[in-house]
Amino acid sequence: MLNKILSLIVCLRYGKLPAEIRYFYRDTLRCQVQQWKYLWNDYVSRKKYKALEFSGEFAPELQFALPFAYWHYKNGTLKSTTSSKYTKELYFFSPDHTEQFDTRSNEGNYNFEMPRILYSQDYDMSKWIPAPLKEKYRNDVYVYDKPILIIANRYNMEWDGPPVSYYSIEMLALILDKLKKRYTVIYNRPRPQHITMDNSDIYDMDEFSWLSSEHPDVILMEDLFTENKAGANNFNHLQLMVYANASKFISIHGGTATLASYFGGTNLILSKKGPEHHFRCFQKLYPQFSGAKILHAKTDDEVKQFVEAHF
């Protein structure tokens, strides 16, 4: 019944929008209505009651689940958190964190017990405080003579089809020729064994052998994990420590861009398509994670322009 009422409201207000966009509007309203029942617990009694469980994908976890959990921690109402493998370090503040899920799922994104899920028409959010990951994981281990530049790439299935947004070897060559004299470049594209997988297959673009041959001075994140000088518990933990010492990022939309946006500085995001464009996530949401300057490139040519102007 509630969904029918909310669908009618959305249809009346946003009926001209495509159906695949409208249901995100309805979901936002549903999340907001769900929060009404917690008014007493959150603002009056303020006992430790919130047991947050999230089994969705990495990007929405960073965008909505983690800030929701941190808000409850600061509010004094967080009891426990449950998420996927390799997330204990993300929820460092949780009084009781369980790594329960071996895989992430799209179905897990639709946790209507949170104030927001996926894409939203309204990013002026309550019950939402980004966890201070940079402050927590800044260290003296990953420090170099030149400032760090993280290139966070991905080459995955997108929308059940081939990769759309990624930095090809040609684009990597251009970026490195422009920037590697100025920065200590760390290249990061996690392999399946390093992360908790979701429903997107990871493909091979053979850039690691190319980097080894043509740009041996570029540091690979996976090599830092093999060395593990800082004693990281897992690959995600290592990423947090390395990213915390950086302020320049070149990333791809999704989890790679979201994580990079938590560490301030400048984050150039390549996103060629997706609901993020309609909802203006890169302008309204991503800067809120840390105050980072977000540059959204929709094409390879725009990447080149931003690299010239901002790096």
Q: Give per-residue burial for 99-130: e unless 16+ CB within 10 Å, then b.
A: bebeebeeebbebebbbbbbbbbebebebbbb
- Of 129, 161, 196, which residue is a domain's last? 129
Confidence of residue 205 (pLDDT cuts 50, 70, 90): confident
Co-location of 146 and 64 in the same domain: no
Co-location of 33 and 107 in the same domain: no
Co-location of 38 and 63 in the same domain: no
In a domain, 119, yes or no: no
In a domain, 258, yes or no: yes
- Of 129, 160, 180, which residue is a domain's last? 129
Co-location of 95 and 194 in the same domain: no
Q: How many residues does the chain have?
A: 311
- Looking at residue 286, its pLDDT comes to 97
- Looking at residue 200, its pLDDT comes to 64
- Of 62, 94, 129, which residue is a domain's last? 129
Confidence of residue 56 (pLDDT cuts 50, 70, 90): very high
How is the beta sheet containing 293-297 ordered, strand by strand? 219-220, 184-188, 148-152, 248-252, 266-270, 293-297
Res. 198: pLDDT tops 80: no
Q: Could you write out the three-class secondary structure of the chain?
A: CHHHHHHHHHHHHHCCCCHHHHHHHHHHHHHHHHHHHHHHHHHHHCCCCEEEECCCCHHHHHHHHHHHHHHHHHHCCEEEEEEECCCCCCCCCCCCEEEEECCCCCHHHCCCCCCCCCCCCCCCCCCCCCCCHHHHHCCCCCCCCCCEEEEECCCECECCECCCCCCCHHHHHHHHHHHCCCCEEEEECCCHHHCCCCCCCECCCCHHHHHHHHCCCCEEHHHHHHHCCCCCCCHHHHHHHHHHCCCEEEEECCHHHHHHHHHCCEEEEECCCCHHHHHCHHHHCHHHHCCCEEEEECCHHHHHHHHHHHC
Co-location of 162 and 263 in the same domain: yes
Res. 11: pLDDT tops 70: yes
pTM as predicted? 0.93
At 116-161, the pLDDT tens digits run: 999 998 898 999 999 999 999 999 999 999 999 999 999 876 777 7
How far is the C-alpha of 238 from the C-alpha of 170, rounded, in Å?
28
In a domain, 85, yes or no: yes
Co-location of 15 and 61 in the same domain: no
At 248-283, the pLDDT tens digits run: 999 999 999 999 999 999 999 999 999 999 999 999
| N- to C-terminal Cα separation, the chain | 52
Question: Could you tell me which of 55, 48, 50 has the C-alpha nearest to residue 37?
Answer: 50
Contact 270, 175 (CB under 8 A): no
Co-location of 62 and 85 in the same domain: yes
Lowest mean pLDDT among 180-194, 207-221, 259-273: 180-194
What residues make up the domain containing 89?
Answer: 46-114+124-129
Q: How many domains does the chain have?
A: 3
How far is the C-alpha of 151 from the C-alpha of 76, rounded, in Å?
37
